[in-house]
Amino acid sequence: MRIREFEWDDGNVTHLRSSHGVEPVIRRTKMGHYAAFGPTLDARYLVILYENKGRGTIRPITGWDMSRSERRYYRKSTGG
């Protein structure tokens, strides 16, 4: 499967928060990429690294389970 575009906007965030209880945290990295922090429906806490290709397209690069310090950052950022 080849994905050419990934759309993300405030509507996605609102839906995830209200329907699934997921509060994503997104921050820019030193290398100019973005990291999205959040839990899955199976209660795994993940970080997904991606780059913004422009024109509404992002490219996922990699992902991993959050470390303890990343979980602390996530909880602090969401007030939880």
Look at residue 36 and tell me if it is in a domain: yes
In the chain, how many domains are there? 1
Question: pLDDT band at residue 40, thresholds of 50, 70 and 90?
Answer: confident
- Is the residue at 4 inside a domain? no
74 falls within a domain:
yes
Q: Got the DSSP string for the chain?
A: ---------HHHHHHHHHHH----EEEE-TTS-EEEEEE-TTS-EEEEEEEEEETTEEEEEEEEEPPHHHHHHHHHHHT-
Q: Does residue 40 fall inside a structural domain?
A: yes
Residue 3 lies in a domain: no
Does 29 fall in a domain?
yes
For the four alpha carbons of 42, 48, 52 and 58, in that order, the dihedral sign comes to negative
Residue 46 lies in a domain: yes
Reported confidence tier of residue 67, pLDDT bands at 50, 70, 90: very high
The answer on pLDDT for 45 being more than 70 is yes
Residue 73 domain boundaries:
10-78
pTM assigned to the model = 0.71
